[in-house]
């Protein structure tokens, strides 16, 4: 039997409390989770109150068409499972993992945006996602073929696009899909990665594309190929840090453990426009990953005969 949700409440001697939640993704997405927790907190403080956002439970508004009509293909999903040229996910998970965390405040984000040449207008998510993806690939101590296609998968809220009722409680997101060869992602500046993220977002901004994907997923053999993918889930705009059961807002909000899947979290107690990036990487990657993630705001120092090209140190392998 699959547990739909699980909650654990721990009361601390200091008067504080810890609330751990585990909600099956079949039930709802991050926005649904946030909606539930805010409603629970609101009723805890005032059981007689009317919910600010009543839940809308009718899932039929996103049901597949009959018969299914896949008019637009979503490259993030495949019905076949071809043997990948290189399975990065398998290689990463076969090694001891180390959690990493990076905070990007508005000045860091602005510096990243200035690295896009030619300049372009972009959001904090777009530039930090592209930077994280690029840093993740550059950090791998592997002799990977420069023509290998690497992917970035990230969740996109489709509630507004599909005009879903306010309070829709379920899964109202689709995966955005960006891809690039290692050579293009690493040798080009950040502009290249940002444009790919923006293209992925604009592709999803189409009702027929979403309906086609819903119909495609009726085929239970269809899966997401994550063999060469970095997967990012954005929690920084869910408002989870604002949940208040009557004892005050959270001092910390985040996953119980870190994983190979990357999370964007809010910066609690800091600038509301900042973002905290959390992801686990193999021990062999940690030093390089920290260097590439933080080089956007730390002074670049040339030493030991290394030189800087396109913002990254050139080693024996020209791509890492």
Integer CA distances (angstroms), 97 to 104, 195, 279, in order:
22, 30, 10
pLDDT at 207 over 60: yes
In a domain, 319, yes or no: no
Mean pLDDT calculated for residue range 82-93: 83
In a domain, 318, yes or no: no
pLDDT at 202: 95
pLDDT at 139 over 90: yes
In a domain, 220, yes or no: yes
| 34 within 8 A of 234, measured Cβ to Cβ | no
Q: Quote the CA–CA distance of 59 and 57 in Å, as a whole number.
A: 6
| 276 within 8 A of 237, measured Cβ to Cβ | no
pLDDT at 266: 94
pLDDT at 257: 79
Could you tell me where the DSSP H helices lie in the chain? 30-45, 88-93, 106-114, 124-138, 182-187, 190-204, 207-216, 283-294
pLDDT at 309 over 70: no
3-state percent helix, strand, coil for the chain, nearest multiple of 5: 30, 20, 50
Counting every residue written for the chain, the total comes to 320
| 132 within 8 A of 277, measured Cβ to Cβ | yes
Number of domains in the chain: 1
The reply to whether 244 belongs to the active site is yes
Which structural domain range is residue 263 located in?
A: 5-313
The catalytic position among 60, 184, 225, 244 is 244
CATH number of the CATH domain containing 225: 3.30.559.10
Alpha carbon dihedral 199, 176, 259, 270, in 10-degree steps, equals: 60
In a domain, 320, yes or no: no
pLDDT at 265: 95
The catalytic position among 25, 206, 219, 315 is 25
Q: Which two tokens stand for residue 61?
A: 């508004």
pLDDT at 152 over 50: yes
124-138, 139-153, 198-212, 298-312, range with the lowest pLDDT:
298-312
Query: pLDDT class for 261, splitting at 50, 70, 90?
Result: very high
Query: pLDDT class for 298, splitting at 50, 70, 90?
Result: low
Query: pLDDT class for 297, splitting at 50, 70, 90?
Result: low
pLDDT at 110 over 50: yes
pLDDT, averaged across the chain: 88
Mean pLDDT calculated for residue range 226-232: 93
Query: pLDDT class for 296, splitting at 50, 70, 90?
Result: low
Question: What pTM does this model have?
Answer: 0.89
38-52, 76-90, 119-133, 193-207, range with the lowest pLDDT:
76-90
Mean pLDDT calculated for residue range 58-65: 90
Query: pLDDT class for 311, splitting at 50, 70, 90?
Result: very low
In a domain, 20, yes or no: yes
% of the chain with per-residue pLDDT over 70: 91
């Amino acid at each position: 039997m699959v547990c739909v949700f699980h909650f654990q409440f721990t009361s601390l001697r200091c008067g504080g409390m810890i609330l751990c939640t585990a909600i099956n993704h079949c039930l709802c997405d991050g926005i649904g989770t946030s909606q539930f927790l805010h409603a629970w907190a609101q009723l805890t403080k005032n059981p007689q109150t009317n919910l600010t956002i009543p839940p809308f439970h009718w899932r039929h508004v996103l049901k597949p068409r009959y018969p299914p009509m896949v008019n637009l293909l979503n490259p993030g999903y495949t019905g076949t499972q071809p043997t990948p040229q290189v399975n990065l996910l398998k290689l990463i998970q076969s090694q001891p993992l180390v959690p990493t965390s990076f905070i990007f405040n508005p000045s860091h984000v602005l510096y990243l945006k200035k690295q896009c040449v030619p300049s372009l207008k972009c959001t904090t998510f777009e530039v930090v996602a592209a930077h994280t993806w690029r840093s993740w690939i550059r950090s791998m101590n592997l002799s990977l073929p420069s023509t290998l296609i690497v992917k970035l998968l990230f969740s996109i809220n489709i509630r507004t696009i599909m005009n879903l009722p306010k309070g829709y409680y379920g899964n109202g997101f689709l995966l955005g899909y960006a891809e690039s060869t290692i050579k293009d992602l690493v040798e080009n500046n950040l502009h290249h990665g940002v444009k790919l993220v923006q293209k992925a977002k604009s592709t999803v901004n189409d009702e027929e594309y979403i309906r086609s994907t819903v119909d495609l997923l009726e085929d239970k053999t269809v899966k997401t190929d994550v063999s060469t993918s970095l997967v990012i889930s954005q929690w920084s705009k869910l408002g989870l840090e604002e949940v208040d059961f009557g004892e005050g807002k959270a001092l910390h909000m985040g996953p119980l453990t870190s994983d190979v899947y990357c999370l964007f979290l809010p910066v609690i107690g800091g600038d509301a426009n900042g973002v905290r990036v959390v992801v686990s990487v193999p021990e062999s990657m940690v030093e390089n990953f920290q260097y590439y993630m933080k080089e956007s705001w730390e002074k670049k120092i040339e030493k030991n005969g290394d030189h800087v090209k396109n913002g990254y140190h050139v080693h024996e392998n020209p791509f890492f």
